[in-house]
Amino acid sequence: MSKPHSLAISKLSGGYGDVTVIRDVSLTVEPGKIVFVTGRNGVGKTTLIKLIAGQLAAQSGNILFGERDMRAEPPHARRAIGIGYAPQESVVFDDLSVRENLTLQYRDRDLARYEALFASFPRLRERRAQRAGTLSGGEKKILSFCRAVAEDTQLVMLDEPTEGVQPENIERMATHVATEAGKGRGFLIVEQNLGFAERLADHAHVLDHGACIFETPGGADLRARLAERLAL
């Protein structure tokens, strides 16, 4: 029997219309665990996470969250049962302020839930009245990261969260992910930054041409193991 807030995908295939991008991928994210998916550009990493988030329809295979079959659930229903998602692109609402981006999904519009994140990323607090579209690419990524991490979800999916982000802020991101995982939240992270993966991963998968070609536990030499496979 699966754990209540574990994600288990089995032989998942899907893509865009009749074009199959992901082929028979299986992975598990248990509560409190951090799982990475990496690979070169264009191998299907973002497609995989969109299939799990419900942004794309699966062609075959299973997506279970606990005992619940997710394949027929729309994105908002997946969020309602505890699956959060920060996409790689269109990460913020450009015409809304930073504050509005952070509070749009809450009735109370209270920023108190972001205090720990503001302590790590003070520029967000300073720019809370600024239109999000005027932020740099890295700042938009941080805004999206903070919004996803602060939500009351049991599983957090992040697609290339460190892209364009300065090294010191990547380190702060890693600290927050580790802290939240320590509280029992699961993380599925699509990422090409192997140092970030080595710092955090309990397990990692390498995709190529839409299929998982390698998987390995985390550990101090994870970067070297992944780099060797990515060079193939």
Q: Is the dihedral of CA 159, 7, 102, 175 positive or negative?
A: negative
d(CA 70, CA 85): 15
Query: What's the pLDDT tens digit per position in 4-62?
Result: 789 999 999 999 988 999 999 999 999 999 999 999 888 999 999 999 999 999 999 99
186 in a domain, yes or no? yes
Q: What's the rounded mean pLDDT across residues 109-131? A: 94
Residue 91 has pLDDT above 90, yes or no: no
pLDDT-derived band at 109, boundaries 50, 70, 90:
confident
Report if residue 2 sits inside a domain. no
Which among 87-96, 137-146, 221-230 has the top mean pLDDT? Answer: 137-146
Read off the CATH number of the domain in which 39 is found: 3.40.50.300
Domain count, the chain: 1
Does 2 have pLDDT greater than 60?
Answer: no
Q: What is the rounded average pLDDT for all residues in the chain?
A: 93
Task: Say if 132 falls within a structural domain.
Answer: yes
- Mean pLDDT along residues 118-139: 95
Q: Is residue 182 part of a domain?
A: yes
- DSSP codes joined into one string, the chain: ---TT-EEEEEEEEEETTEEEEEEEEEEE-TT-EEEEE-STTSSHHHHHHHHHTSS-EEEEEEEETTEE-TT--HHHHHHTTEEEE-SSS-S-TTSBHHHHHHTT-SS---GGGHHHHHH-HHHHHTTTSBGGGS-HHHHHHHHHHHHHHS--SEEEEESTTTT--HHHHHHHHHHHHHHHHTT-EEEEE---HHHHHHH-SEEEEEETTEEEEEEE--TTHHHHHHHHHT-
pLDDT at 1: 43
For helices 167-182 and 137-150, give the axis angle rounded to 10 degrees. Answer: 10
Share of the chain above pLDDT 70, in %: 98
Residues 151-155, mean pLDDT to the nearest whole number: 94
Query: Which residues, in sequence order, are bridge partners of residue 22?
Result: 14
221 part of a folded domain: yes
Q: Is residue 110 part of a domain?
A: yes
Residue 1 lies inside a defined structural domain of this protein: no
Query: What domain range includes position 141?
Result: 7-230
Q: pLDDT tens digits for 174-219?
A: 999 999 999 999 999 999 999 999 999 999 999 999 999 999 999 9
On whether residue 142 sits in a domain, the answer given is: yes
